[in-house]
């Protein structure tokens, strides 16, 4: 009974995340046009490793929301330590209340990094967020430290996906270090924009 409730809660939560990001993207696009503000256009974006660990294909994430690319395309890292760095320079657009997920915007590209699977149920326990929504960040800047052992104990998985949530502007994502172990701030992927 408890597992059924937890899974139902997670499904509702995943839908909630998608709706929040969709509404945010619509509002930000409208405000940018209204205010005449345009971001610098980039043609290719390098994504650096946000964790130390093994890089895997997004299709290997044991959660259909990510593996079936419902949130967007990207890759994931199986972390070796409880530290999350920014993979790009940009702006923190969202820090989830449960401290386990971050939205980052760089140019027109919006990234979602989700630490672990079903970590929402931890309600922020073991997570120490180092940034807030609206903060400007640089590549390699620390965003979060967390208790990896606690996540191993309480969450479904420690795997940490990074996805582009606005794939409509992306032509291709090339993962350069697939199935390799990477250190912090190494080039992991390149995103070619339309």
DSSP annotation string for the chain: -HHHHHHHHHHHHHHHHHHHHHHHHHHHHHHHHHHT--PPP-SEEEEE-SSSEEEEEGGGSSSHHHHTTSS-EEEEEEESSSEEE-SSSEEEEEE-TTSSEEEEEETTEEEEEE-SBSGGGGTTTTEEE---TT-EE-TT-EEEEE-HHHHHHHSSB--EEEEES-GGGEEEEEESSTT-EE-TT-EEEEEEE-
Catalytic entry in 76, 114, 116, 127 = 114
Q: Note if 114 is an active site residue.
A: yes
Instruction: List, by residue number, the catalytic residues.
Output: 114
């Amino acid at each position: 009974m408890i597992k059924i409730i937890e899974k139902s809660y997670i499904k509702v939560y995943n839908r909630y995340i998608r709706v929040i990001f969709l509404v945010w993207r619509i509002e930000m696009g409208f405000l940018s046009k209204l205010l005449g503000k345009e971001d610098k256009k980039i043609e290719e974006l390098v994504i650096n490793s946000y964790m130390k660990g093994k890089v895997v294909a997004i299709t290997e994430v044991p959660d259909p929301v990510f593996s079936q690319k419902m949130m967007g395309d990207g890759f994931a890292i199986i972390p070796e330590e409880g530290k999350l760095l920014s993979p790009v320079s940009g702006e923190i657009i969202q820090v989830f209340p449960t401290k386990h997920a971050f939205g980052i915007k760089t140019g027109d590209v919006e990234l979602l990094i989700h630490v672990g699977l079903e970590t929402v149920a931890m309600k922020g326990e073991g997570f120490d967020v180092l940034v807030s929504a609206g903060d400007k960040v640089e590549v390699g800047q620390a965003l979060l430290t967390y208790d990896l052992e606690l996540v191993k104990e309480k969450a479904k998985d420690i795997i940490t996906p990074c996805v582009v949530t606005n794939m409509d502007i992306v032509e291709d994502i090339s993962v350069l270090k697939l199935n390799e172990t990477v250190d912090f701030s190494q080039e992991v992927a390149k995103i070619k924009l339309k």
